[in-house]
Amino acid sequence: MILELPWRDPQDCFAALAPEPYLAFLDSAAPRDARSRFSYICLDPFKILRDAPLEALARELASHAPLPGPLPFMGGAVGFFSYDLGLALAPVPSRHANPSNLPDMVIGFYDTLIGFDHAARRCWLIMRQRPGQDGAQRAEALRLRLERKPAPAALPKLHWRADMSRGEYIALVERVLRYIRAGDIYQANFTLRHTAARPAGLEPAALYLALRAASPAPFAAYLDCGENLTLLSASPERFISLGADGGIETRPIKGTRARHADAAQDAALAAELGQSPKDRAENLMIVDLLRHDIGRVAQIGSVRVPELFQVESFASVHHLVSAVTGRLRAGLGPADLLRAALPGGSITGAPKIRAMQIIDELEPCRRGPYCGAIAWIGFDGAMDSSIIIRTLIVTSSHVLMQAGGGIVADSQPDAEYAEMRLKASPMLGLCGG
């Protein structure tokens, strides 16, 4: 069943449906970004994979026929792959325990969703017939749920605690620089975690809406992963997209400047970023790494770099972004592409394996979902995904947030600490933190 609905703001629909278990909101929340055309609210999954092999994901996707329709995603898999899953795929042994017992993968399979085309201001209910269920009754029940108008939930204060002091962070950046000078690596992405005890009465959906307002992003997402885990993401970064025709694109971010309230100074900061030798070198290293990752599964000769060192502007920062494209080899699918590319090169470093080893040595805890990927994968084999950055991880007892940056030979430790704080500031400022 494909039923066009009267246009509704996706945010309002999300607020009405947020209590639904395993709800996934893939939210194109940056209104002036060309990639912010489509949003999806997926609910009532018919199957959940938790910490399953990628082969199980591929088998389940292959067992369902695609549904043609007006949107790029018409049903399929939605969920996340953790950074630590990428370590295991590499494989890179980790010294870190998992005290919160967070899963490395949670994927729901959805045949019920509401899709939004922001450009056309049209939306549709997509619902496949399930054996023994009345499709019309299911659609009417969903329509009634959409009529909910919940009162805005209060946001209790979050009290953040960093896992290390400014001095400890700077000292570890110096250790990364020593590895670079010794020739171990060219670059490593080093990060710091902040933790807040989850206050009584905190509603993840209300916290997500506050994050969305503070930091609208083209790859924003809300994932209820069950078992007291919810991801609230304001990611600006595409990880990998895959067309049903096999076309691949990844858009790594490396290079950051703060936005400025004065338009002339803001433009000057953007221009300075675009010409910065340090940031361009950092970006180029990751472009080369991703060319290699994609090349492992792409048709020979198909890998290209159509965009290099483009400045893109977001709510609080400018970023330096490039694009790498290719075409997937015949006989391979989304799971093969994920296996080749996880975790994303922009949040590891180069060379990738050695950078991940050094990150595991120096960072004091596992990353978990942070720096992994959120993805939708259609039954037709198409996929889009984001890097899990600018993200709050809500568990039964805590709210976790992590930020960092790429360290290269000419990095200045004080400046790297300031960049980390800049990226973290929209999240640290939520709920009076």
Query: So which residues are the catalytic ones?
Result: 237, 254
Q: Where are the alpha helices (DSSP H) in 151-203?
A: 166-181
**8-12 own/partner pairs: CB under 8 Å, 24+ apart:** 8/123, 8/146, 10/39, 10/41, 10/116, 10/123, 11/209, 11/212
Q: Which residues pair with 140 in a beta bridge?
A: none
- Answer for the pair 114, 40: CB distance below 8 angstroms, yes or no: yes
Angstrom distance (rounded) from CA 190 to CA 204: 27
- Answer for the pair 113, 126: CB distance below 8 angstroms, yes or no: yes
Place of tokens 């075409």: 327
The residues, any chain, with a CB within 8 Å of residue 214's CB and separated by 6 or more, are 234, 315, 426, 427, 429, 430
Angstrom distance (rounded) from CA 116 to CA 10: 7
CA distance readout (Å), 102 to 51, 186, 368: 10, 31, 7
CA distance readout (Å), 26 to 85, 221, 231, 391: 22, 5, 11, 14
- SS3 state of residue 320: strand
SS3 content of the chain, % helix, strand, coil (to 5): 30, 30, 40
Q: Output the six-digit token pair for 200.
A: 């009584």
DSSP code per residue over 7-75: ---HHHHHHHHTTSTT-EEEE---TT-TT-SEEEEE-S-SEEEES--HHHHHHHHHTS-----SSS--S
Rg (CA), the chain: 21
Please give the angle made by the CA atoms of 312, 314 and 317, to the nearest 5 degrees. 90
**258-265 own/partner pairs: CB under 8 Å, 24+ apart:** 258/316, 258/317, 258/318, 258/422, 259/313, 259/314, 259/315, 259/316, 259/317, 259/318
Angstrom distance (rounded) from CA 188 to CA 12: 40
Place of tokens 């993200």: 391
Angstrom distance (rounded) from CA 43 to CA 424: 30
Q: Output the six-digit token pair for 340.
A: 């080749």
